[in-house]
């Protein structure tokens, strides 16, 4: 039986993650909490807007209303990576070899491993950032498409166009596909080798959460009363194939999804705080956590394959151990 | 009633020549978003402040931020610029207009507001209300539509009112050289007519008549140095269907005599019988603009009880076909065999309607509807509206 170790916090949790096996919870008020032989916490920002884990899985990268980009985690002192003044840092992404990117307004910044910072300006606001799995390349989600930058070289950016506002962006783990969430209730995808488009629409709500299955065979998404899981096994991605609808419930919406790191099992979090685990192969469901105070806002599996950290909009966070 | 929503999720074909396939997944179950939008008590009110450069927005904002009125405001500004108050609830945001990809050209939202409002609302409890200051040239429509079209913003906030600051001295000039100044007035629920000390009473009456010609339903407050009573600007509930018309005693009111002095706080209604150039009309709605630079028109319709089977399809058809030309629409509808008043309001193609309250015993069951917009066909609107009336 799965067991839940609760951590009741006061505030909206933006990211529930593991750093070297220790669950961390980043709240909108700027505090980062952790369960490391008891509840400990660090004040990182005055208002936290975005958070992600570095590629080594050791530190948390965050951006705030205070115009700071910070690196924190565990007992380490908070490192201010960059400070931009009185502007909101709206997005942050982790790249290879310690590289990172962040954005404010119409500018995206890449900070390379040597500490050098490169600025990339755009005609419209930078809404989302993501690094490619291989090579030093990152994507900027913007109005009417995506811009791909190569911060290691002086090369020109690649522009991918699709009408509409793109809010966040992700590369498939094999680097072959790029998918954005849109202001409309839709995902948009590109096959990078030939620029072909994929429209994934029909959602009743905006998509706030997505997660790739191991080896990138599936892409799970929120925004419906079920987790909408698109097949990406073939060379053509989900071309002409319908998605799976996993963990369908009649009276609430899926707000967060997280694929298990090694198995094709997806954790599905709902607006009422419930969490299910659903196996893709037979669509079998297991209840991981009952309803709570508010919508699940973030979930991440640990690399140990058995623990899932979850955060909610109302602060009732915790860790689920599926092995009990 | 949100017709634009029906367009979501519908495949729009032929959008790109190199598109290989359209994936079309459709959720077949019931719509879930209603639950998110019904929780009105927790919604934070949002006031939108428009007005040309120099009209006095910054002065008014400084008053909102510094006066003791028992409320805390988060303010979204275009530039920190002249606001001399250091407050971490003042947020800078770049105007970012996003067209929705649903085939509707007037469905625009402000992407920057979605992001900032979402950010602010993750830390509720720090403020009681939000004020959005727009640039002098800003189009108020995408700002307002953001609060109707984005489900997340809509679930957590509600548009309270659009307030336009107008410089009494420079308005005629502004109307000559820009369409934005006119749009801002046309779209406003409250017009603060500022710097009245710089013009004569005659000029003031002219300016008021112009404002009234553009927008017969707005409340007008005369003031100097943005000194308007904040209670007349904030917490108006102008988009709240249960309050919308209660707030505007003069809006679409029966013709009545009134004889009052024009103090600084006089609220000019559509039927004020001082010289508005429309005094000579039977009732003043849709009066010919006293200044030829005015391109916005208002059309007021009045009728008896409506047949709901004809009225609602008519309203939907009109707003679908004429949506881009309609800036605002408001009305009280008397429906046949219905004991309750039905109220509607709209912005372009977005219409909302609901039962408001039972008709009072002494109230005449009458339908009143006003359209404010451009290039509206008065004859056709009147004729088709009248055809929706229930048989007596």
B165 pLDDT above the threshold of 80: yes
3-state secondary structure of B349: coil
Mutate to test the interface with A, among B6, B88, B98 (most CBs of A within 10 A): B98
Domain stops at, among B175, B199, B232: B232
Whats the size of chain A, residue-wise? 324
**Residues in chain B within 8 Å Cβ distance of A124:** 96
Give A23-59 pLDDT, tens digit per residue.
999 999 999 999 999 999 999 999 999 999 999 999 9
Q: Quick check: is B76 in a domain?
A: yes
Supply the DSSP symbol for B386: H
A49 touching chain B per CB within 8 A: yes
Tell whether B227 and B98 lie within a shared domain.
Answer: yes
How far away is chain A from the Cα of B362, in angstroms, using its nearest Cα?
A: 44
The total of structural domains in chain B comes to 2
Tell whether B195 and B304 lie within a shared domain.
Answer: no
In percent, the amount of chain A with pLDDT more than 70 equals 100
Q: Quick check: is B172 in a domain?
A: yes
Q: CA A118, CA A123: separation in Å to the nearest integer? A: 17
Q: How many CB atoms lie within 10 A of CB A270?
A: 24
Q: What H or E segment, with its residue span, contains residue A188?
A: strand A186-191
A197 and B20: CB-CB below 8 Å?
yes
Q: CATH code at B76?
A: 3.40.50.300
Q: Quick check: is B190 in a domain?
A: yes
**Given the structure tokens 């050791």, which residue do they identify?**
A58
What is the rounded average pLDDT for all residues in chain B? 77
Angle, vertex CA B123, rays to CA B120 and CA B128, nearest 5: 75
Least confident range from A256-265, B105-114, B235-244: namely B235-244
**Both tokens assigned to B329:** 């629409």
Supply the DSSP symbol for B112: H
In percent, the amount of chain B with pLDDT more than 70 equals 73
3-state secondary structure of A134: coil
How far away is chain A from the Cα of B101, in angstroms, using its nearest Cα?
A: 5
Number of H helices and number of E strands within chain B?
A: 10, 15
Tell whether B222 and B317 lie within a shared domain.
Answer: no
Q: CATH code at B356?
A: 3.30.1220.10
Domain stops at, among B190, B205, B232: B232
pLDDT, mean of residues B90-116: 87
B254 pLDDT above the threshold of 70: no
B211 pLDDT above the threshold of 50: yes
Give A285-311 pLDDT, tens digit per residue.
999 999 999 999 999 999 988 999 999
Mutate to test the interface with B, among A45, A184, A271 (most CBs of B within 10 A): A184
Tell me what pLDDT residue B33 has: 37
A201 touching chain B per CB within 8 A: yes
Least confident range from A259-263, B30-34, B292-296: namely B30-34
Beta strands B190-194 and B219-222 are parallel
Q: How far is CA A198 from the centre of its chain?
A: 21
Tell me what pLDDT residue B9 has: 29
Give B331-367 pLDDT, tens digit per residue.
889 999 999 888 888 888 888 888 888 888 888 889 9
Number of A/B CB contacts below 8 angstroms equals 133
Least confident range from A154-163, B108-117, B272-281, B284-293: namely B272-281
B80 and A28: CB-CB below 8 Å?
no
Nearest to A125 among B19, B29, B111 (CB): B111
Tell whether B88 and B223 lie within a shared domain.
Answer: yes
Tell me what pLDDT residue B146 has: 94
Tell whether B54 and B168 lie within a shared domain.
Answer: yes
Q: CA A184, CA B114: separation in Å to the nearest integer? A: 13
Tell whether B204 and B317 lie within a shared domain.
Answer: no
Mutate to test the interface with A, among B9, B32, B37, B80 (most CBs of A within 10 A): B32
Q: Quick check: is B340 in a domain?
A: yes
Supply the DSSP symbol for B377: -
Q: Tell me the CB-side half-sphere exposure of residue B40, using CA atoms within 13 A.
A: 7
Q: Quick check: is B173 in a domain?
A: yes
Tell whether B206 and B354 lie within a shared domain.
Answer: no
Q: CA B297, CA B327: separation in Å to the nearest integer? A: 10
Tell whether B172 and B318 lie within a shared domain.
Answer: no
Tell whether B97 and B217 lie within a shared domain.
Answer: yes
**Residues in chain A within 8 Å Cβ distance of B29:** 225, 248, 250
**Residues in chain A within 8 Å Cβ distance of B18:** 195-197
Q: What H or E segment, with its residue span, contains residue A180?
A: strand A177-182
Q: What H or E segment, with its residue span, contains residue B175?
A: helix B171-177
A10 touching chain B per CB within 8 A: no
Q: How many CB atoms lie within 10 A of CB B387?
A: 12
Least confident range from A138-142, B55-59, B289-293: namely B289-293
Nearest chain A residue (CA) to B98: A165
B16 pLDDT above the threshold of 50: no
Query: For chain A, what is the radius of gyration of the CA atoms?
Result: 19
**Are A198 and A190 contacting, i.e. CB atoms less than 8 angstroms apart?**
yes
Q: Quick check: is B98 in a domain?
A: yes
Q: Tell me the CB-side half-sphere exposure of residue B13, using CA atoms within 13 A.
A: 0
Give A60-104 pLDDT, tens digit per residue.
999 999 999 999 988 888 999 999 988 999 999 999 989 999 999
Q: CA A131, CA A61: separation in Å to the nearest integer? A: 14
Least confident range from A10-19, A53-62, A310-319, B373-382: namely B373-382
Domain stops at, among B232, B248, B265: B232
Q: Quick check: is B268 in a domain?
A: no
- Give me the helices (H) in chain A, please: none
Q: What H or E segment, with its residue span, contains residue B385?
A: helix B378-386
Tell whether B67 and B200 lie within a shared domain.
Answer: yes
Domain that holds residue B131: 44-232
Tell whether B174 and B77 lie within a shared domain.
Answer: yes
Q: Which of A41-50, B1-10, B249-258 is predicted most confidently? A: A41-50
Tell whether B223 and B369 lie within a shared domain.
Answer: no
pLDDT range class, residue B256, cuts 50, 70, 90: very low
Measuring CA to CA, which residue among B346, B240, B375 is closest to residue B4?
B346
**Both tokens assigned to B136:** 């002098």
Nearest chain B residue (CA) to A200: B23
What is the rounded average pLDDT for all residues in chain A? 95
**Are B223 and B192 contacting, i.e. CB atoms less than 8 angstroms apart?**
yes
Nearest to A143 among B29, B98, B151 (CB): B98
Nearest chain B residue (CA) to A105: B94
Q: Quick check: is B72 in a domain?
A: yes
Angle, vertex CA A215, rays to CA A237 and CA B20, nearest 5: 5
The CA-to-CA distance between both ends of chain A, in Å, stands at 5
Q: CA B192, CA B339: separation in Å to the nearest integer? A: 37
């Amino acid at each position: 039986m799965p067991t839940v170790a609760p951590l009741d916090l006061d505030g909206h949790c933006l990211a529930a993650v593991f750093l070297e096996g220790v669950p961390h919870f980043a709240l909108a008020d700027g505090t980062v909490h952790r369960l490391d032989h008891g509840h400990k916490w660090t004040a990182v920002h005055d208002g936290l807007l975005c958070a992600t884990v570095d590629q080594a899985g050791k530190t948390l990268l965050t951006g705030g209303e205070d115009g700071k980009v910070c690196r924190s985690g565990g007992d380490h002192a908070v490192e201010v990576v960059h400070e931009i003044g009185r502007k909101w840092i709206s997005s942050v992404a982790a790249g290879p070899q310690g590289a990172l990117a962040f954005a404010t307004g119409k500018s995206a910044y890449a900070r390379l491993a040597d500490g050098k910072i490169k600025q990339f300006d755009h005609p419209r606001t930078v809404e989302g950032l993501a690094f490619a799995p291989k090579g030093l390349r990152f994507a900027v989600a913007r109005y009417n498409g995506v811009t791909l930058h190569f911060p290691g070289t002086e090369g020109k950016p690649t522009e991918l166009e699709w009408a509409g506002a793109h809010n966040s962006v992700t590369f498939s783990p094999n680097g072959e596909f790029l998918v954005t969430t849109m202001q409309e209730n839709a995902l948009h995808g590109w096959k990078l080798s030939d620029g072909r488009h994929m429209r994934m629409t029909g959602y009743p709500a905006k998509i706030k959460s997505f997660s790739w299955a191991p080896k990138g065979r599936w892409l799970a998404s929120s925004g419906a009363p079920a987790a909408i899981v698109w097949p990406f096994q073939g060379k053509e991605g989900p071309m002409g194939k319908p998605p799976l609808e996993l963990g369908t419930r009649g009276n609430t919406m899926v707000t967060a999804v997280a694929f298990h790191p090694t198995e094709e099992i997806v954790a599905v979090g709902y607006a009422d705080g419930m969490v299910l685990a659903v196996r893709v192969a037979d669509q079998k469901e297991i209840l991981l956590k009952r309803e709570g105070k508010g919508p699940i806002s973030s979930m991440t599996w640990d690399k140990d394959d058995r623990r899932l950290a979850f955060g909610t909009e109302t602060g009732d966070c915790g860790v689920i151990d599926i092995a009990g | 009633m949100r017709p634009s929503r029906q367009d979501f999720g519908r495949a729009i074909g032929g959008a790109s020549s190199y598109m290989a396939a359209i994936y079309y997944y459709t959720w077949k179950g019931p719509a879930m978003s209603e639950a998110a939008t019904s929780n009105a008590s927790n919604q934070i009110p949002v006031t939108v402040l428009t007005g040309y450069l120099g009209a006095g927005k910054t002065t008014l904002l400084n008053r909102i931020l510094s006066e003791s009125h028992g409320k805390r405001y988060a303010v979204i500004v275009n530039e920190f610029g002249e606001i001399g108050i250091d407050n971490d609830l003042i947020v800078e945001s770049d105007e970012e207009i996003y067209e929705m990809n649903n085939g509707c050209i007037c469905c625009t939202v402000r992407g920057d507001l979605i992001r900032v409002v979402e950010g602010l609302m993750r830390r509720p409890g720090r403020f009681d209300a939000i004020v959005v200051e727009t640039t002098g040239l800003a189009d108020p429509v995408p700002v307002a539509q953001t609060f109707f079209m984005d489900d997340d913003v809509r679930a957590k906030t509600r548009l309270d009112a659009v307030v336009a600051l107008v410089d009494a001295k420079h308005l005629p000039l502004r109307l000559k050289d820009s369409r934005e100044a006119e749009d801002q007035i046309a779209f406003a629920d409250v017009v603060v007519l500022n710097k009245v000390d710089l013009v004569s009473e005659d000029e003031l009456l002219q300016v008021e008549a112009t404002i009234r010609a553009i927008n017969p339903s707005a409340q007008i407050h005369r003031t100097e140095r943005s000194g308007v009573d904040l209670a007349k600007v904030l917490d108006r509930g102008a988009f709240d269907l249960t309050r919308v018309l209660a707030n505007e005693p003069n809006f679409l009111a029966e013709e009545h005599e009134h004889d009052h002095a024009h103090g600084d706080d006089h609220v000019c209604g559509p039927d004020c019988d001082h010289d508005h150039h429309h005094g000579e009309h039977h009732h003043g709605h849709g009066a010919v603009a006293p200044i030829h630079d005015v391109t916005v028109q208002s059309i007021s319709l009045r009728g008896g009880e409506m047949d709901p089977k004809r009225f609602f399809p008519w309203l939907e058809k009109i707003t679908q076909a004429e949506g881009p030309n309609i800036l605002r629409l408001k009305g009280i509808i008397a429906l046949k065999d219905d004991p309750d008043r039905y109220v509607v309001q709209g912005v372009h193609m977005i219409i909302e309607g609901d039962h408001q309250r039972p008709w009072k015993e002494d109230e005449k069951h009458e339908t009143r509807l006003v359209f404010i917009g451009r290039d509206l066909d008065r004859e056709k609107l009147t004729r088709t509206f009248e055809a929706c009336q229930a048989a007596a």
